[in-house]
């Protein structure tokens, strides 16, 4: 007991916040003044902005900004409702039509938050007991969508079609052992066009071959490749020259090349219509603010009227890549 | 839940048998079936009763113990996809009032059928096997059990 008292007397608590030197980086912020566009002014110095996904530079485009401001004057800021309860505006329907036309699919559906697009699309189709083959380097939004779907996830090595084929073959032997279970199991492959985590492009032609060989459906996430790959920016299907009907669902973010907020999914009407009631991020979130929808429509107009910007973008990318390789 | 009521029930199948008027409708339905069978002049009274019992138990087996899942999408990612309606009732809680009602009603029908068929051996055999097909799946020990893998997926 005596020793315990002594120990308690001796004990000196450590400070909650230890003393830090004055030049600790957390205490000296770098201050950005002005909008982040092609260049960003940090601490008064003008720097080239490499830290944004504004690939086509449409974020500070005057036409896009004026379209957004006109929409702001007409509609105000928010829609004050989900799509099913007085939150559907004509700009939403127009944007959906324009996106479906641009991507040459039957229908498109708009989400008001890019992350929620693929995270709501996957659990709308894949449920408990279904099987999803995902690339290891799938982005966080896909991971959350898979977690919400409660399906069995099978990861294959990044861009390794041999590994994916091995997994598909294993699944095929399992299916042959239990055909009745196989008949009620849905199988999906989820891949990204341009991976956010590694910057690689997925080998889509081989995936299509595997899709028809093993009867799996493909969900393609084109957030980074929309407006980047392809002759006219239609994404990785145009890049590889693949018929858009071979992909069951294309999901993309409008927050990168399209310089707006939100996301869209496009595909056959039969598939997209299902998300109007089952897409949790669509039914239970307020719809996209009309000024952002108008901005996206204007950005689409620019993309359609100037198809040479994609060539410029690719040329610049290759030049920087070569220069950085030294 | 009752008709036309907004609800946050994840799987309405679990509560449908507790809805207002469900038990009365069911009893009246069985009564209507029996009256229709009695009106057919070819069937004697014992045959009509046995037929009522057998058809009722057949219908009960198909709708409560054979058909799986839900006819609508549920927001729980398909938890009840492989469960029959009986297994879904009250989210699997046993001995609720609905379960007791639907266990007792085929038994009552069986007693009535046995009485009106004057305990004839052929009728007895038919009625008893029919009752067993509808009573055994209701046992709590057989919750989620699929014999010989029939109807598993």
Spell out the long-range contacts of A126-130 with Cβ–Cβ below 8 A and sequence spacing 24 or more: A126/A151, A126/A186, A126/A188, A127/A151, A127/A186, A127/B77, A127/B78, A127/B81, A128/B77, A128/B78, A128/B79, A128/B81, A129/A184, A129/A185, A129/B78, A129/B81, A129/B82, A130/A185, A130/A186, A130/A187, A130/A188
Answer whether B153 sits within 8 Å of A128, measured CB to CB: no
Q: Is A292 helix (H, G, I), strand (E, B) or coil?
A: helix
**From B69, which residue of chain A is nearest by alpha-carbon distance?**
A184
A231 token code pair: 């002759």
Per-residue model confidence (pLDDT) at position B1: 74
What residues contact residue B118 under an 8 Å CB cut-off, 6+ apart?
B46
Dump pLDDT digits (tens) for A181-193: 999 999 999 999 9
Per-residue model confidence (pLDDT) at position A251: 97
**From A149, which residue of chain B is nearest by alpha-carbon distance?**
B77
Cβ neighbours of A184 in B, within 8 Å: 81, 153
- B73 at interface of A, judged by CB pairs closer than 8 A: yes
Rounded to a whole number, what is the distance in Å from the CA of A144 to chain B's nearest CA?
A: 14
Q: Is A118 helix (H, G, I), strand (E, B) or coil?
A: helix
Residue A321 lies inside a defined structural domain of this protein: no
Same domain, A47 and A71: no
Cβ neighbours of B77 in A, within 8 Å: 123, 127-128, 148-150
Q: Tokens 């260049």 sit at which residue?
A: A39
H or E element, residue A218:
strand A217-221
Dump pLDDT digits (tens) for A102-113: 999 999 999 999
- B77 at interface of A, judged by CB pairs closer than 8 A: yes
Tens place of pLDDT per residue across chain B (153 aa)? 777 788 889 999 999 999 999 999 999 999 999 999 999 999 999 999 999 999 999 999 999 999 999 999 898 999 999 999 999 999 999 999 999 999 999 999 999 999 999 999 999 999 999 999 999 999 999 999 999 989 998
Per-residue model confidence (pLDDT) at position B144: 93
**From A275, which residue of chain B is nearest by alpha-carbon distance?**
B73
Residue A167 lies inside a defined structural domain of this protein: yes
Task: Give the range of the structural domain holding residue A91, as residue numbers without chain letter.
Answer: 62-309
Same domain, A48 and A145: no
Answer whether A277 sits within 8 Å of B153, measured CB to CB: no
- B146 at interface of A, judged by CB pairs closer than 8 A: no
Residue B148 lies inside a defined structural domain of this protein: no
ipTM higher than threshold 0.90: no
Predicted TM-score (pTM) of this structure: 0.89
Dump pLDDT digits (tens) for A138-190: 999 999 999 999 999 999 999 999 999 999 999 999 999 999 999 999 999 99
Ranges in chain A, pLDDT < 70:
none
Same domain, A139 and A280: yes
Task: Give the range of the structural domain holding residue B115, as residue numbers without chain letter.
Answer: 13-142
Residue B71 lies inside a defined structural domain of this protein: yes
* Percentage of residues in chain A having pLDDT higher than 70: 100
Residue B119 lies inside a defined structural domain of this protein: yes
**From A123, which residue of chain B is nearest by alpha-carbon distance?**
B77
Per-residue model confidence (pLDDT) at position A27: 86
Provide the number of structural domains found in chain B. 1
Same domain, A45 and A70: no
The answer to whether B5 touches B19, Cβ cutoff 8 Å, is no
Residue A77 lies inside a defined structural domain of this protein: yes
Per-residue model confidence (pLDDT) at position A97: 97
Answer whether A178 sits within 8 Å of B153, measured CB to CB: yes
Residue A318 lies inside a defined structural domain of this protein: no
Per-residue model confidence (pLDDT) at position A42: 92
Provide the number of structural domains found in chain A. 2
């Amino acid at each position: 007991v005596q020793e315990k008292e002594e120990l308690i007397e001796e004990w000196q608590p450590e400070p909650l916040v230890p003393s830090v030197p004055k030049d600790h980086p957390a205490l000296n912020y770098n201050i950005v003044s002005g909008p982040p566009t092609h260049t960003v002014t940090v601490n008064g110095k003008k720097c080239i902005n490499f830290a944004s996904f504004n690939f086509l530079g449409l974020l500070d485009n005057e036409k896009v900004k004026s379209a957004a401001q006109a929409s702001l004057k007409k509609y105000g800021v928010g829609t004050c409702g989900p799509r099913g309860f007085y939150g559907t505006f004509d700009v939403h329907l127009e944007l959906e039509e324009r996106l479906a036309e641009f991507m040459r699919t039957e229908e498109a559906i708009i989400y008001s938050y890019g992350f929620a697009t693929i995270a709501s699309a996957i659990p709308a189709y894949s449920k408990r007991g279904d099987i999803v083959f995902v690339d290891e380097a799938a982005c966080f939004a896909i991971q959350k969508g898979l977690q919400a779907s409660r399906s069995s996830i099978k990861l294959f090595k990044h861009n390794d079609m041999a590994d994916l084929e091995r997994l598909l073959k294993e699944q095929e032997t399992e299916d042959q052992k239990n055909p009745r279970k196989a008949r009620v199991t849905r199988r999906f492959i989820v891949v990204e066009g341009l991976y956010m985590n590694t910057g690689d492009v997925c080998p889509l032609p081989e995936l299509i071959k595997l899709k028809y060989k093993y009867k799996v459906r493909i969900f393609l996430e084109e957030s980074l490749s929309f407006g980047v790959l392809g002759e006219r920016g239609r994404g990785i299907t145009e890049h590889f020259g693949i018929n858009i009907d071979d992909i069951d669902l294309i999901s993309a973010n409008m927050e990168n090349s399209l310089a707006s907020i939100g996301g869209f999914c496009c595909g056959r009407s039969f598939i997209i219509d299902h998300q109007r009631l089952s897409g949790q991020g669509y039914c239970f979130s307020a719809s996209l603010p009309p000024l952002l929808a108008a901005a996206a429509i204007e950005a689409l107009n620019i993309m359609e009227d100037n198809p040479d910007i994609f060539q410029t973008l690719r040329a610049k990318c290759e030049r920087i890549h070569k220069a950085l390789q030294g | 839940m009752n008709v036309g009521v907004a609800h946050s029930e994840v799987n309405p199948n679990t509560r449908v048998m507790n809805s207002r008027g469900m038990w009365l409708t069911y009893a009246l339905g069985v009564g209507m079936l029996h009256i229709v069978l009695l009106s057919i002049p070819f069937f004697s009274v014992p045959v009509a009763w046995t037929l009522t019992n057998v058809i009722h138990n057949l219908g009960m087996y198909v709708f409560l113990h054979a058909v799986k899942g839900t006819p609508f999408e549920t927001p729980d990612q398909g938890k009840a996809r492989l469960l029959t309606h009986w297994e879904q009732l009250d989210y699997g809680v046993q001995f609720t009032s609905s379960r007791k009602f639907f266990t007792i009603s085929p038994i009552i029908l069986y007693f009535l059928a046995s009485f009106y068929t004057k305990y004839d051996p052929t009728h007895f055999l038919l009625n008893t096997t029919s009752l067993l097909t509808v009573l055994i799946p209701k046992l709590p020990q057989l919750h989620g059990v699929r014999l010989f893998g029939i109807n598993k997926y």
